Amino acid sequence: MRPSSSVASSGDTAPPRLYFIPFPTPGHALPMSDLARLFASRGADATLVLTHANAARLGGPVARAAAAGLCIRIHALTLPAEAAGLTGGHESADDLPNRELAGPFAIAVDLLAPLFTDLLRRHPADAVVFDGVLPWAATAAPELGIPRYAFTGTGCFALSVQRSLLLHSPQNGVASDTEPFLVPGLPDAVRLTKSRLAEATLPGADSREFLNRMFDVERATAGWVVNSFADLEQRYIEHYEKVTGKPVFAVGPVCLVNGDGDDTLERGRGGEAAAAAEAARVLKWLDTKPARSVVYVCFGSLTRFPLEQVSELGMGLADSGANFVWVVGDKNVPPLPDIDAAAPGRGLVVRGWAPQVAVLRNAAVGAFVTHCGWGAVTEAAAAGVPVLSWPVFAEQFYNEALVVGLAGTGVGMGAERGYVWGGEALGGVVVGREAVAERVRGALADEALRRRAGEIGGRARRAVEAGGSSYEAVGALLEDVLRPGRRSPDGAGASGRDTTRGQASVSTHYASEDISHGEQHMHIRIGSWPV
């Protein structure tokens, strides 16, 4: 992976040094890792800041990119777990055994702030791309004057909906959880219900604190970096720029930075031998199935359904008559339905992790049952695979509205209410086996749905190619970092570091450097998601 044209051709100055720091959980760290490699491929000098456990998970693709000549590395920080009262060695949100540990984990993540500040002071940067849920990264080392760009973690449609709900609170004016209300000020007439709203936007929630944090991030950021592309939500990209007064750089789908080799096969699980064996097992099984005959089922790294819902899902898949790959995220879930007996030869159960991007690209996959996390949405879009949406929490119901209502690349599975993260484990049966079977059969047989998803997939791939909207957005952000006022006239950047070295020497030096010192309006009815 050699640098593509952008800043790489400017031989009289060093490439801009960018830091990328995600919240430590796969749904945030994976796309941020892709993002860092994407910018490195365009000539930037990229440092990905992770906890040690996530560095081990994501290190393989970064090491290969560095070996190929890109200016990229990982800086590992030690999570201050003991100081936060967090025991058990948990360094990623998906590794927490229960939601009761979410509070100590959040405190431990906040305690990374002084470590990141120290890193910036010892190894200054020209810009920081920070996770939008890490507001302290936007204000670390303010004396350095480093511009900060917020990586939103979701798309501009969901961000626009959330912002409107927090500012205008239309949800406070309805009498029941199922009464629709209009979200004001959006390009489309979006109607929601309280049963699907974010925890922070529900009446009685401490939404003012959340709103203040949102505005703090807006004030501190120089712009938004979004894992999206123009043909998916152009009007909402423009809308979010207008309402925040900050530029949006839609650079996705970032998963497309991964080719068809090891980067895709081990994405999210490092070079573990067990992961490689599991990837080979899944892909070998898929290769025995006809084109577009398999439904892939995965609810991300955080969802934990109760046993009765797991059973209904499994039996519904068996009853559908379809081939399926079913990823059960919790390795410790009680015994599953006997899939071999219920669907002999048609079902493959994966406990824990699966190579999702590689699976979605496989010709056998014809639909994707997903919680509609934004990473999953963009990965499905990039692969041109229709979505069967089953939102659970966070912005997932909003993403469903975009996929089903606006983009037309998915259909709903029938989930009508959302949960606070962790609450889904007590929710009982949300979608029964009959509904699962019916919707799976319908999606696999829907030629119009498949055609629309394929069109969006083609547009996603063109967006990241030279001249595409996302390709141009990467260049625009790099130009924004390099514009007058970002780097001083004497050749020093905003950080004060020397920027007069040649690109070739910088590439050679930093590829091997280790600086880890310890560490038309439509009416859409969607209706509860927490953040």
Does residue 480 carry a catalytic annotation? no
**SS3 label, residue 165:** helix
Is residue 112 within 8 Å of residue 137, measured between CB atoms? no
* Distance, CA of 415 to CA of 372 (rounded, Å): 12
**Pairing assessment for the beta strands 365-370 and 294-298 based on DSSP bridges:** parallel
CA-CA distances (angstroms) from residue 328 to 355, 376, 490? 13, 15, 56
| Largest CA-CA distance found in the chain, in angstroms, rounded | 72
Element (H, E) at 215: helix 207-220
DSSP for 48-62, please give it.
Answer: EEEEHHHHHHHHHHH
Q: Give me the catalytic one of 34, 45, 131, 263.
A: 131
Copy the structure tokens of residue 324: 């399926």
Does residue 28 carry a catalytic annotation? yes
Q: Give me the catalytic one of 28, 75, 90, 371.
A: 28
* Distance, CA of 492 to CA of 494 (rounded, Å): 7
* Distance, CA of 153 to CA of 186 (rounded, Å): 20
Helices (H), 287-367: 307-319, 339-342, 356-361
* Distance, CA of 385 to CA of 163 (rounded, Å): 29
HSE value, Cβ hemisphere, 13 Å, CA-based, for 310: 25
* Distance, CA of 28 to CA of 375 (rounded, Å): 8
* Catalytic residue ranges: 28, 131
